[in-house]
């Protein structure tokens, strides 16, 4: 069974359909017992839908490259 924290860490995989059958089952079992995570999932769906309607901002190439570099550094530091 997933914990609430684990669910929040894999919610993007779930929403993007990148979760295997066993993990999806664990995800759904947790949702069935946790109203807070059900609310969180609804919020994530609304957020993704809303963000999907936004146009991509035009950034100067230097700023885009800097943001990507920093994001990669942040991801590496979390591992």
Give the number of other Cβ atoms within 10 Å of residue 68's Cβ. Answer: 10
How many domains does one find in the chain? 1
Domain that holds residue 36: 4-78
- The residue whose two tokens read 């999932």 is 41
Which of 5-23 are b and which e, b meaning 16 or more Cβ less than 10 Å from the residue's Cβ?
eebeebbeebeeeebeeee
Contacts of residue 3, Cβ cutoff 8 Å, sequence gap at least 6: 30
Region of residue 55 (phi > 0: left; psi between -120 and 50: alpha; otherwise: beta): beta
CATH of the domain at 11: 1.10.10
* 6-63 residue pLDDT tens: 999 999 999 999 999 999 999 999 999 999 999 999 999 999 999 888 888 788 999 9
Whether the full predicted model's pTM is greater than 0.85, yes or no, is no
pLDDT for residue 79:
60
């Amino acid at each position: 069974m997933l914990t609430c924290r684990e669910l929040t860490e894999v919610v993007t995989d779930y929403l993007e359909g990148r979760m295997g059958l066993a993990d999806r089952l664990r995800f759904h079992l947790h949702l069935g017992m946790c109203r807070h995570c059900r609310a969180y999932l609804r919020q994530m769906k609304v957020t993704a839908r809303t963000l999907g309607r936004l146009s991509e901002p035009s950034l100067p190439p230097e700023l885009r490259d800097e943001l990507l570099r920093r994001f990669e550094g942040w991801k590496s530091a979390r591992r």
